[in-house]
């Protein structure tokens, strides 16, 4: 993991999407979506993202650790020179309410700015109400549908 922001035992940094802790977080993310979504979740149907798409310069994968344990993840995909998309946002249940997701998004935004992006977008499911609240709190605004993701009900964007 590259050096990242460390505070209150939380460390966020870029990591290879294929690394063991990254794969652990992604597996937990998919498991949680399958449990929470009304009709389950099949990763093959929901805007699949390959490891290559989460590898610079196409994209970046971010891993959060809380006191050394994998605690969350998120990815930034480069859509074009000015636009990035946030994918695979997840926080482990033991780490919720500690600011982990905010720090992952802050790291994503910093990378997007450094890469010259001026717009971030994301989509999310209606069941993830706490995510909707977080995105609004962080300055994201609902926007028109931009993807064919069958699991998405809300689309957000934020100008950087």
Q: What is the pLDDT of residues 83-140, one digit of tens each?
A: 999 999 999 999 999 999 999 999 999 999 999 999 999 999 887 889 999 999 999 9
Mean pLDDT of the region 44-69:
90
* H helices present in 37-158, as ranges: 100-114, 129-137
CATH of span 5-122: 3.40.630.30
106 class by beta-carbon count within 10 Å (0-12 exposed, 13-18 middle, 19+ buried)? middle
User: Looking at the predicted structure, is the pLDDT value of residue 155 above 60?
Assistant: yes
Rounded to two decimals, the pTM is 0.91
Task: Give CA–CA dist 30/34, Å, rounded.
Answer: 6
**Domain locations in the chain?**
5-122
What's the CA angle centered on 22, arms 35 and 44, to 5 degrees? Answer: 50
The partner residues of 64 in beta bridges, in order of sequence, read: 12, 72
Intra-chain end-to-end CA distance of the chain, in Å: 25
């Amino acid at each position: 993991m590259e050096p990242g922001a460390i505070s209150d035992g939380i460390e966020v940094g870029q990591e290879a999407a294929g690394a063991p802790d990254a794969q652990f977080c992604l597996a937990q993310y998919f498991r949680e979506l399958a449990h929470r979504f009304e009709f389950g979740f099949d990763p093959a149907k929901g805007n699949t993202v390959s490891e290559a798409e989460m590898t610079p310069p196409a994209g970046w994968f971010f891993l959060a650790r809380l006191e050394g344990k994998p605690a969350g993840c998120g990815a930034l995909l480069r859509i074009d020179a000015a636009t990035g998309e946030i994918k695979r946002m997840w926080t482990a249940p033991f780490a919720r309410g500690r600011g982990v997701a905010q720090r992952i998004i802050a790291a994503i935004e910093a990378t997007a700015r450094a890469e010259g992006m001026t717009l971030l977008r994301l989509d999310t499911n209606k069941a993830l109400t706490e995510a909707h609240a977080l995105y609004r709190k962080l300055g994201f605004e609902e926007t028109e549908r931009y993807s064919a993701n069958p699991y998405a009900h809300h689309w957000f964007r934020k100008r950087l």
